[in-house]
Structure formats: structure tokens, C-alpha cells
Chain A
Amino acid sequence: MNCTELESRLHPYVDGELGVDDMAAADDHITGCPGCRGRVARERQFLQFLRQQPRESAPEALRELIRVQLVRSARWTAVRRWSAVSVAAMIVAAALLPALRSSTPLVSELVDKHIAFAQMEQPAELVSADRHTVEAWFRERVALRVTVVDYSMSGIRVIGARIAEARERPASYVLYEKGHIPLSVFMVPVKEAEGDLWGKRVTYRGHEYVTLERKGYRTVSWTEGRAIFGLVSMLDYDALLECADKLRAERARQAPL
């Protein structure tokens, strides 16, 4: 790739939206070209600046007004449905809902962590783009075999790591970024009985995962032995499942069962 080609792909490059081959070619070019390196750094700085703009929230009065309108609209829906749906079915639904809603899933806790970390100036305790450094850092700190996968071919970069707390015990947290979108990868040790996950079961490349959306973030989680893995991001499910699949494969390769 030359400078002109990089210039034409600059935006998808910094956004992590280039294809695998272009991404690698762009990386190669940038390594050897200080001019383009500076250009990329400036573009990243600009995007960072945009991202840090204060976010205005909706006025409280508007929020209230919308709630009232929804309640009113929901009543009408209910009236219409009562005539169409049998009372028996309604009773079943009413009996099931509270039971399914009551437990706070571990994944919700991870989403809260993801949000909290994303708001911190320095979310990672260890800042490193090198996966081996990150793995070694965890070896000294947690009793978990943490695997850090290289997702750079999908435009996802390792940013760093920290020890997070989930279910009141230490968990590993690896932070990645695709363009400007953070991706958190958690590994939480669990007791056997806690291995049940809450959400929608999906099968991806022959393995089962659980997906759940919370507060606008998508999560993909699965259990492996005595640990739960959880990916949290605004990235779409295809990207998350691909990352999950790579992580699972990498762990299987490192320690064949």
C-alpha cells in the first residue's frame, strides 16, 4: 500500500472497518511511513476529541411526558389484546414473568462494569497492545488462566487490562477497541451451580452461547469449566460471536481437554 492508497482508506482504517488484507497492508505501510503515521494519529486524536464531547441528556420533563404517553398507549393495546387473547394464557404469562425477571444476571453486572470503565479516563491498569504482556500480567495477579486473543485482523486492538470484581471475587478484564468502539472481555470464576446463564441461546460454529442486550450493550457469554466468559460491547452480534469463537478455539488449542 502506498500513501495515496492509505489516504483513501484512512477513515475505514481508523474506524477498524477495513477488511483483513487491507488492514494488514495499511499496518505495514504505516510502520514504515512517518508521514502517514502522523496522519493516522491526528485522525485518531480528532475522533477521540469528538467522542469526549459532553452528552446532553433528555430533559426530565420530556422523559416524564413520554412515560405518561406510553402508559396511555399501553392501556389501549391491553384493551385490544384482552378481546383477542384467552384469559388462561394471560394468567400463565403473569405467573411466569416475575420468576424469569427476578434474578440479576451476572451479565448485567458485567455491562455495568463495561459502562463504568468506559467512562474512566484510564480504564486499564495495564496499558499494553501486546497480548503476551497482558497474559503474563494476569498470571501474577489472578488464579485464572487468562487468554488474550489477537483480533487485529478484524480491526480490533488490545488496549490493556485490569482486575475487575464480579460476584464479589476477582475477575479478569481485557479491554479492546475497534475503531472507537470499546469491547470488554471478562473471565469470571464461578462455582458449578452458578454456571447457568440468562438470555437467548444461540449456536455459532457448533458451540452454544448466550446473548443478551442490556442498557444498549450487547453481550455474548458462555461457560467453560468453572469460569464464565462475557463479552460486552456495542459491536454487533456477528462481531462478538466471532471474537467469542476465536477465544474459545484459542483456549482449546492451549489446553486440549
Chain B
Amino acid sequence: MTMWKGRLSGWATGEDRRREFEEVALVHLGAIYRSALRLTNNRAEAEDLTQDTCLRAFRGFHRFDPGTNCRAWLFTILRNAFRDRLRRRHHELLDTESADWDGETPSVTSEGMARHPEEEFFLTALPGDVDRALRALPLPFREVVMLSDLEQLSYKEIAEVVGCPIGTVMSRLSRGRALLRQALGRFAREQGYVKESP
């Protein structure tokens, strides 16, 4: 018995295709929306981007290979849709930006490297702190941390979504996590939960 999709998708009506799309892809709507929110930092724009992503995915659904990760495929579409928007608004810095960042990063202090055992923000972080910290990360780091730690993609899948080698995913991830941790430590101090290091 083969999966009916493989045999019949060529004949299936638009309605069948839609139903299949809902079953396979639209179950990830929450993940798309959350990621859109993290990319745009704006609810209205995130909703718009989510719609755009879903429609693009539906139109290109025949190109989706059922043996692969549908979420990763959707993230790729989301990322492209997002970048198209930025480009339309003349944010041409995108690619050069990420290239620079692989060489030089916003500095990570020893605190970001988590050498101190007193990181207690795990216990005191307020709801929304992680998203706030994430929003402060430059895009190339934000997307990698988001895909790995919040959406649980593998390095290989992230490399495919982001279109870079696995080695780059690793280095962005380790810097991104360090920066995120640093920001969370800062919030905790601002909120008075964690004392300044002596």
C-alpha cells in the first residue's frame, strides 16, 4: 500500500489537495505564526506574513517531498517571504549583514559564555523575557536559535532552511545562545532578581 498522495495527487481535485494540505502543513500554523512574530516583532505584520507563507506553501505544495520535514519546508518559505518583504522595503543589508556577522559578532562577555554558576534567571525570568531577548538578537543569530531551540530542527534542517553550511549553523548557534543568555541575565538584573556580580 503506498501513500495515496504519491499516486493520486496528479488527479486529486483542488479540494482534496486542500484537505491534505490542512492535514500535513496547516497543523504547523502555530509554529509558523510564532516564528513570524519573532522575525517581524509586530503582530499585524506577523499575521500578514503567516497568511502569505501559507498561501505560497499551498501553491507550491506539489513540490513538497512527503519524506522530508514539513515544518522545515514551511520555515524555508516563511524565511523567503520575510526576506522578500525586507527587500521590497529596501533593506538590502540582509546578505552582507549575515556575512559580516559570521566573522565579527556583537561581543559576548564571559557572562554570556556562562562561566558563572550564579545564573538564576532560569528561576526568575518573566513570561515574555525570552522573546524580548530574542528580539534583540541580530537576525542571523535569531533565526538559528529560534529554529533550533524553540522549534527543534536539526542542524542539517536548519542549514537547509537558512541556506548555509552546517559549520555556520554551529557557530551562529553558539554565539546566538551566548548572546541570548547574556540578555536574559541583564533583564534579571534590571528586574532586581539577580545581584550584580561582585
Write the residues of chain A forming the contact surface with B, with a CB cutoff of 8 angstroms. 10-12, 15, 17, 38-39, 42-43, 45-47, 49-51, 53-59, 62-63, 65-67, 69-71, 73-79, 81, 85, 89-90, 92-93, 96-97, 100-101, 180-181, 196, 198-202, 211-213, 215-216, 218, 234-237
Partner of B11, one of A11, A67, A90: A90
Whether A85 contacts B11 by the Cβ 8 Å rule is: yes
- Chain B residues, CB < 8 A from A89: 11
A199 to B4, CA, bound (A): 8
Question: In the complex the two chains form, is B55's CB within 8 Å of A92's CB?
Answer: no
Please, how many angstroms separate the alpha-carbon atoms of A90 and B17 in the complex? 13
Known pairs A69-B54, A85-B11. 18 more at Cβ < 8 A?
Answer: A11-B174, A12-B170, A15-B155, A42-B119, A45-B122, A57-B29, A58-B30, A74-B15, A78-B15, A93-B11, A93-B16, A97-B16, A100-B4, A199-B3, A211-B67, A216-B31, A234-B69, A234-B152
Q: Which of B27, B155, B157 contacts A12 (CB 8 A)?
A: B155
Option from A11, A17, A38, A201 in Cβ contact (under 8 Å) with B1: A201
A212 contacts B170, C-beta separation under 8 Å: no
- Mask: chain B, 1-44; 1 = CB below 8 Å from A; 0 = not: 11110101011111111100110101111111110010000000
Contacts of A236 in B (CB 8 A): 68-69, 154, 156-157
Bin the interface of chain B by size. 35 or more
Chain B residues near A17: list those with CB within 8 A: 154-155, 170
Main secondary structure of the interface of A (DSSP, over half): helix
Contact A63 B21, beta carbon cutoff 8 Å = no
Binding site for A on B (CB under 8 A): 1-4, 6, 8, 10-18, 21-22, 24, 26-34, 37, 47, 50-51, 54-55, 58-59, 66-71, 114, 117, 119, 122, 125, 127, 130-131, 148-150, 152, 154-157, 170, 173-174, 177, 180-181
B119 to chain A, nearest CB (A): 7
- Taking CB as reference atom, which chain B residue is nearest A100? B4
Asked if B30 and A76 sit within 8 Å, CB to CB, the answer is no
Can you name 20 A-B pairs with beta carbons within 8 Å? Answer: A11-B170, A42-B114, A42-B117, A45-B122, A53-B130, A53-B150, A56-B33, A66-B29, A66-B50, A67-B26, A69-B51, A70-B58, A73-B55, A74-B15, A74-B18, A200-B3, A200-B6, A211-B67, A213-B70, A236-B69
* A184, chain B: closest CB distance, angstroms: 14
Nearest B-chain residue to A59, judged by Cβ: B47
Q: Which of A50, A76, A211 contacts B130 (CB 8 A)?
A: A50
B50 touches A77 (CB 8 A): no
Given A69-B55, A100-B4, does the pair A46, B156 have CB atoms closer than 8 Å? no
CA distance A108 to B180 in the complex (A): 37
A75:B130 contact, CB within 8 angstroms: no
- Chain B residues with Cβ under 8 A from A213's Cβ? 24, 66, 70
CB of B14 within 8 A of CB of A74, answer yes
* Contact assessment for A58 and B27 in the assembled complex, using a CB-CB cutoff below 8 Å: no
Distance, CA A200 to CA B47, complexed state (A): 35
Task: Please name the 6 residue pairs, one residue from A and one from B, whose CB atoms are nearest each other, closest first.
Answer: A78-B14, A77-B14, A74-B14, A58-B33, A74-B18, A200-B3
In the bound complex, what is the Cα–Cα distance between A77 and B62 (angstroms)? Answer: 12
Q: Is the CB of A70 within 8 A of B6?
A: no
A216 with B71, Cβ < 8 A, contacts A12-B170, A69-B51 known: yes
Residues of B within 8 A of A58 (CB): 29-30, 32-33, 50
Distance between A120 CB and nearest chain B CB, rounded to angstroms: 17
| A63 CA / B27 CA spacing, docked (Å) | 10
Which of B2, B34, B50 lies in contact with A56, CB distance below 8 A?
Answer: B34
Task: Find chain B residues with CB under 8 A from A196 CB.
Answer: 1
**Chain B neighbourhood of A73, CB < 8 A:** 14, 18, 55, 58-59
- CA gap between A225 and B55 in the complex, in Å: 45
Q: Given the known A-B contacts A42-B119, A65-B51, A236-B69, are A11 and B17 also in contact in the complex, defined by CB atoms under 8 Å?
A: no
